[in-house]
């Protein structure tokens, strides 16, 4: 019996080759895409779950914005005063350092941390001690760093040179942090070394916010109670820190997905993207399943006669249900296999797109459960229509062919087509709006000449002799200008409060200003417009400061602005210039108030204006030569400002390209469905077309007749989808202060495109039917 079912199923597949192909392909594509998204979503949810203490570890953050920057003395203080805290650990920001072992030298990101880091975070130790960071001159390597430097992992006791100066002994080798770890590093350095190397760490000041702090609570501790205890520690320890900068605990399970904090409460974060992905995946899967159901039910009606015969010769309902279910599951099984192959092929591309590192082999069990579950569900749902509907018919009715009526059973299928196209059209509108908005925010004036700027990290000798480096770079002809800043102008990195200025009102000390330190040639290198006053000229400007227009507005300074004095970090500085607002954070937000103090000691980056008369490669070649004359051991690290500026819109771009892909998929799968249905309907109406042609109907009339039937659901879909999509996009656009408005022509264009695509799909069949020789059709009767 069973083999007979399989045989029939396979023969049916073969007989309706086109139909089966469309059906399987549509489902496979839909499944592949939604499986990718399921894998991605599961991966996102698995973040940090591998830590043994993942329930009891918290990051300490400042309330309000949830910033992770905290003063150096905080962690030891918390450990000392709060008994519920088992460990309190500080880490520096991961920063690139040069590591050398023998001939090998490599620049990697690492961080300084307390010895208890290895107890709090449980990155497994392969070789060496779990208390490795107690000494000063030690280093803990990850497995891959050890391999890069030494070619093996058994390297405890070997020496590594840090930044060409300090010799450190390898005290332990740990496993690489896995891909789903929020905390990543290539090596760990001891906190005592940090104190030795950095003056500001030695100072151990409550006023300097520069390190991350993590705590692990005792098993029985109540996190909310601990949170109340630590809340006001900062203000109590140093009165100058405003009480609004209170502390909160951010549980490890929320680090990745719930990283947006407002007023001490988690408000979302990456979870929004993950949810969006989930919804899109579900939508595509739904479209594909609907397609599958539509096509298999359409086909099953052709088999009504078979059902009748089988019933007349003794099949009961259960057997027929089993047969149709089995066939449906077989089809789904084939699609499932194809989907997995497709997914395997698409993974590298998907990983590049989303910046993740997913693999099928390491997929969690939950993924396979979801895959099998979805497969079974699709198979059962799409098999249930023919199984229950057709098997319920009395054989006489089926044998007489009376259920094959165009009107009655066609309606639910049209409803399904409407549903598919609604999703497809909505996604298309969403795509258009997102793309227009991305273009709009990218076309906003930047406020400085972002093209032709290159950032070079200051480190090694270049850090010490920055002035000479700048002079020699200009002398080489590679660049025309350069200025020393604390950080790349393209990535906002600092803010200050506590400024005072003439005519300041009560409470205005707490206003946040963006800060970017500069040196001479600041405005001229970037191409910033100085509206009043002048650029920094020389070291004589040591106590000068420039501000932007937004800051001027906040401060309400009287004319003339230049020459007035403001106090920043306890230092009185004279305003030398007012800079026109430029994009520092996001081009869709109004520029915030900013100050630009002259301060070469906070130097981090030198930004050069490349020589426009030379090619970029020539510029960089010359610059590299100059760089290596200072830093022979360091690899030449640089980044182009226009590239890092574009990074700001990475999220929007990802969203845009994803939605575009999904919209394309949705319309393709929907059209596959439409194609299948039209193949089917045309075959069914062959006789009608034959008769009409004999009566004198022309090719156009027949084509219109056959295509028109399929355009109706598309029209309805457009009417349903347009307002829904417009509403959703209207809400989405509210995130952007500067935004486009949704225009009628966007929707009209999408509608037109959808109709055109649908028409093209359907007309292939209709035209063929219309051109057919009517005698042929009539002879089949």
Partner 1 sequence: MIQLKHVSKHYPVGFGKHEILNDIDLTIFEGEFVSIMGPSGSGKSTLLHILGLLEEPSRGEYLFEGESVHKMNEKKRTQLHRGAIGFVFQAYHLIDELTVYENIETPLLYKNVPASERKSRVADVLDRFNIVAKKDLFPNQLSGGQQQLVGIARAIVAEPRVILADEPTGNLHSDQAKEIMELFKLLNEKDKITIIQVTHSDVNAAYGHRIIQIRDGKIA
**Interface pick for partner 1 out of 30, 68, 71, 308 (rule CB under 8 A):** 308
Phi, psi of 687, deg, nearest 5: -65, -45
DSSP 218-284: -TT--HHHHHHHHTTHHHHH-TTS-TTS-EEEEEGGGTTT--EEETTEEEESHHHHHHHHHHHHHHH
Closest by Cα among 466, 319, 476 to 390:
319
Closer Cβ to partner 1, 135 or 306, answer by number: 306
304 vs 429, beta carbon nearer partner 1:
304
* Binding track over 318-357 against partner 1, x by CB under 8 A: -x--------------------------------------
Smallest gap from Cβ 5 to partner 1, in A, equals 10
* Per-residue mark of binding to partner 1, 553-592 (x: CB under 8 A): ----------------------------------------
CB of 297 to partner 1, least distance (A): 18
Strands 209-217 and 70-71: antiparallel
Q: What DSSP assignment string belongs to 465-501?
A: THHHHHHHHHHTTSEEEEEEESS-TTS---EE---B-
**Residues that contact partner 1, how many (by CB under 8 A):** 24
Is 319 or 376 the residue whose CB approaches partner 1 more closely? 319
Task: Show contacts with partner 1 in window 396-425 (CB under 8 A).
Answer: 396, 399
**Residue 628 makes contact with partner 1 by CB under 8 A:** no
Residue 316 interacts with partner 1 (CB under 8 A): yes or no: yes
317 forms part of the interface with partner 1 (CB under 8 A): yes
Contact status: 776 vs partner 1 (CB under 8 A): no
Pick the closer one to partner 1 by CB: 352 or 780. Answer: 780
DSSP helix/strand/coil, 128: strand
Q: Does 600 bind partner 1 (CB under 8 A)?
A: no
CB nearer to partner 1: give 267 or 392: 392
Give the C-alpha separation, 593 to 495, whole Å. 10
386 near partner 1, rule: CB under 8 A: no
Task: State the Cα–Cα distance between residues 440 and 115, nearest whole angstrom.
Answer: 49
Contact in structure between 23 and 676 (CB atoms under 8 Å):
yes
Whole-Å CA distances, 189 to 72, 162, 760? 16, 10, 64
How far is the C-alpha of 234 from the C-alpha of 750, rounded, in Å?
Answer: 56
- Concatenating the DSSP letter of every residue in 294-318 gives HHHHHHHHTTHHHHHHHHHTT--HH
Tell me if 279 contacts partner 1 by CB under 8 A: no
**Rounded CA gap, 335 and 316, in Å?**
29
- Window contacting partner 1 (CB under 8 A); options: 293-301, 355-363, 392-400, 578-586: 392-400
Number of other residues whose CB lies within 10 A of the CB of residue 302: 16
Using the contact rule CB under 8 A, the part of the chain among 156-164, 305-313, 422-430, 522-530 near partner 1 is: 305-313
Q: Which is nearer to partner 1, 11 or 687 (CB)?
A: 11
In angstroms, give the least distance from the CB of 309 to partner 1.
5
Number of H helices, E strands in the chain: 27, 25
For the CB of residue 327, give the shortest distance to partner 1 in the complex, in Å: 11
Q: Is 433 helix (H, G, I), strand (E, B) or coil?
A: helix
| Among 175, 262, 394, 687, interactor with partner 1 by CB under 8 A | 394
- Indicate whether 314 belongs to the interface with partner 1 (CB under 8 A): yes
Angle at the Cα of 773 (from 771 to 774), degrees rounded to 5? 110
Smallest separation (angstroms) from partner 1 to the CB of 328: 16
Does 684 bind partner 1 (CB under 8 A)? Our answer is no
Residue 306 contacts partner 1 per CB under 8 A: yes
3-state secondary structure of 735: coil
Residue 7 within binding range of partner 1, rule CB under 8 A: yes
- Per DSSP bridges, beta strands 544-548 and 571-579 are parallel
Minimum CB distance to partner 1, residue 291 (Å) = 24
Comparing CB distances to partner 1, the nearer of 16 and 118 is: 16
Stretch that binds partner 1, among 11-19, 454-462, 651-659, 691-699 (CB under 8 A): 11-19
* Least distance (Å) between residue 646 CB and partner 1: 58
Q: What's the closest the beta carbon of residue 17 comes to partner 1, in angstroms?
A: 14
Residue 311 binds partner 1, judged by CB under 8 A: yes
Provide, rounded to whole angstroms, the least separation between the CB of residue 7 and partner 1. Answer: 7
Q: How far is the CB of 12 from partner 1 (least distance, A)?
A: 6
Q: Which is nearer to partner 1, 273 or 296 (CB)?
A: 296
Counting contacts by CB under 8 A, is residue 687 touching partner 1? no
Tokens of 199: 């003056």
Nearer to partner 1, 305 or 531 (CB): 305
Q: With respect to partner 1, which residue has the nearer C-beta, 310 or 436?
A: 310
Is 309 near partner 1 (CB under 8 A)? yes
Nearer to partner 1, 4 or 601 (CB): 4
Calpha distance 625→472 (Å, rounded): 10
* Two tokens, residue 247: 């502390």
Cβ contacts of residue 324 below 8 Å, gap of 6+?
Answer: 300, 383, 386, 387, 390, 391
Q: Which is nearer to partner 1, 366 or 396 (CB)?
A: 396
Minimum distance between the CB of residue 314 and partner 1, rounded to whole angstroms?
Answer: 3
Look at residues 681, 666, 744, 743 and name the one whose alpha carbon lies nearest to residue 712: 681
Q: Which CA distances in Å does 215 have to 54, 267, 358, 622?
A: 11, 22, 30, 48
Q: Should residue 196 be labelled a site residue for partner 1 when binding is judged by CB under 8 A?
A: no
With H, G, I as helix, E, B as strand and everything else as coil, classify residue 700: helix
CB under 8 A: which stretch of 2-10, 29-37, 85-93, 677-685 binds partner 1? Answer: 2-10
**What tokens does 330 get?**
């077989």
Using DSSP's 3-state secondary structure scheme, residue 294 falls into helix
Q: Examine residue 395 and tell whether it contacts partner 1 (CB under 8 A).
A: yes
Q: Which of 496, 478, 572, 492 is closest to 240 using CA atoms?
A: 496
Q: Least CB distance from residue 300 to partner 1, whole Å?
A: 13
- If one asks whether residue 8 binds partner 1 (CB under 8 A), the answer comes out as yes
**Selected binder of partner 1 within 199, 313, 361, 365 (CB under 8 A):** 313
Identify the residue whose tokens are 């062919």.
401
Selected range binding partner 1 among 205-213, 303-311, 402-410, 507-515, rule: CB under 8 A? 303-311
- Burial-class residue 352 by CB neighbours within 10 Å (0-12, 13-18, 19+): exposed
Location of structure tokens 């393709």 = 668
Q: Would you tell me which residues interact with partner 1 (CB under 8 A)? A: 1, 4, 7-8, 11-12, 15, 305-306, 308-317, 319, 394-396, 399
């Amino acid at each position: 019996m069973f083999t007979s079912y399989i045989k029939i199923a396979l023969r049916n597949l073969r007989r309706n080759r086109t139909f089966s192909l469309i059906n399987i392909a549509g489902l496979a594509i839909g499944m592949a895409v939604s499986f990718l998204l399921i894998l991605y979503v599961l991966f996102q949810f698995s973040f940090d779950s591998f830590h043994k203490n993942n329930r009891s570890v918290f990051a300490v953050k400042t309330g309000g914005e949830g910033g992770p920057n905290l003063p150096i003395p905080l962690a030891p203080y918390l450990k000392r005063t709060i008994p519920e805290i088992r460990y309190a650990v500080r880490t520096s920001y991961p920063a690139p350092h040069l590591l050398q072992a023998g001939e090998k030298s490599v620049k990697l990101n690492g961080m300084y941390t307390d010895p208890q880091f290895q107890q709090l975070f449980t990155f497994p130790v392969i070789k060496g001690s779990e208390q490795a960071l107690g000494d000063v001159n030690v280093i803990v390597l990850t497995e891959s760093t050890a391999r890069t430097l030494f070619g093996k992992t058994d390297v405890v006791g070997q020496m590594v040179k840090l930044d060409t100066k300090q010799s450190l002994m390898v005290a332990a080798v740990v496993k690489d942090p896995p891909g789903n770890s929020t905390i990543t590093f290539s090596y760990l350095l001891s906190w005592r070394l940090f104190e030795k190397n950095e003056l500001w760490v030695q100072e151990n000041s409550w006023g300097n916010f520069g390190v991350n702090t993590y705590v692990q609570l005792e098993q029985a501790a109540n996190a909310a109670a601990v949170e109340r205890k630590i809340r006001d520690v900062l203000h109590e320890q140093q009165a100058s820190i405003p009480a609004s900068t209170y502390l909160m605990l951010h549980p490890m399970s929320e680090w990745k997905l719930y990283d947006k904090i407002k007023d001490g409460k988690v408000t979302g974060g990456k979870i929004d993207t993950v949810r969006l992905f989930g919804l899109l995946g579900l939508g595509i899967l739904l479209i594909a399943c609907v397609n599958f159901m539509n096509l298999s039910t359409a086909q099953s009606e052709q088999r009504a006669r078979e059902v009748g015969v089988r019933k007349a010769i003794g099949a009961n309902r259960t057997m027929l249900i089993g047969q149709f279910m089995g066939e449906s599951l077989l089809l789904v099984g084939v699609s499932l296999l194809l989907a997995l192959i497709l997914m395997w092929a698409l993974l590298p591309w998907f990983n590049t797109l989303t910046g993740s590192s997913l693999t099928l082999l390491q997929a969690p069990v939950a993924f396979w459960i979801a895959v099998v579950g979805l497969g079974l569900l699709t198979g059962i749902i799409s098999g249930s229509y023919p199984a229950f509907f057709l098997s319920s018919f009395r054989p006489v009715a089926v044998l007489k062919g009376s259920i094959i009526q165009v009107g009655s059973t066609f309606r639910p299928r049209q409803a399904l087509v409407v549903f598919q196209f609604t999703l497809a059209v909505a996604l298309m509108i969403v795509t258009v709006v997102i793309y227009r908005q991305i273009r709009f925010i990218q076309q906003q004036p930047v406020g400085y000449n972002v093209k032709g700027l290159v950032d070079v990290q200051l480190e090694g000798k270049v850090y010490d002799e920055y002035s000479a480096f700048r002079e020699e770079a200009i002398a080489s002809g590679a660049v025309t200008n350069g200025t020393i800043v604390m950080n790349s102008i393209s990535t906002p990195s600092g803010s200050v409060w506590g400024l005072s200025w003439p005519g300041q009102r009560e409470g205005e000390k707490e206003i946040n200003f963006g800060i970017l330190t500069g040196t001479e040639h600041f405005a001229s290198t970037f191409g910033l417009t100085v509206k009043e006053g002048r650029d920094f000229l020389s070291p004589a400007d040591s106590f000068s400061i420039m501000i932007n227009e937004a800051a001027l507005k906040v401060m309400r300074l009287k004319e003339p602005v230049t020459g007035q004095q403001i106090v920043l970090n306890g230092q009185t500085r004279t305003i030398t210039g007012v800079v026109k607002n430029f994009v520092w954070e996001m081009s869709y937000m109004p520029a915030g108030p900013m100050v630009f103090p002259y301060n070469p000691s906070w130097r981090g980056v030198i930004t050069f204006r490349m020589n426009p008369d030379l090619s970029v490669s020539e510029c960089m070649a010359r610059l590299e030569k100059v760089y290596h004359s200072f830093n022979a051991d360091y690899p030449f690290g640089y980044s182009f400002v226009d590239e890092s500026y574009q990074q700001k819109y990475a999220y929007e771009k990802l969203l845009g390209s994803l939605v575009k892909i999904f919209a394309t998929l949705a319309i393709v799968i929907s059209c596959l469905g439409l194609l299948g249905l039209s193949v089917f309907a045309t075959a069914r109406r062959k006789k009608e077309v034959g008769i009409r042609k004999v009566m004198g109907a022309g090719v156009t009339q027949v084509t219109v007749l056959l295509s028109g039937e399929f355009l109706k659901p598309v029209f309805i879909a457009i009417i349903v989808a347009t307002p829904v999509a417009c509403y959703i996009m209207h809400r989405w656009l509210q995130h952007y202060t500067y935004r486009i408005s949704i225009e009628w022509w966007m929707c009209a264009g999408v509608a037109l495109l959808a109709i055109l695509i649908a028409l093209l799909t359907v007309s292939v069949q209709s035209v063929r039917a219309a051109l057919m020789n009517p005698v042929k059709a009539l002879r089949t009767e």
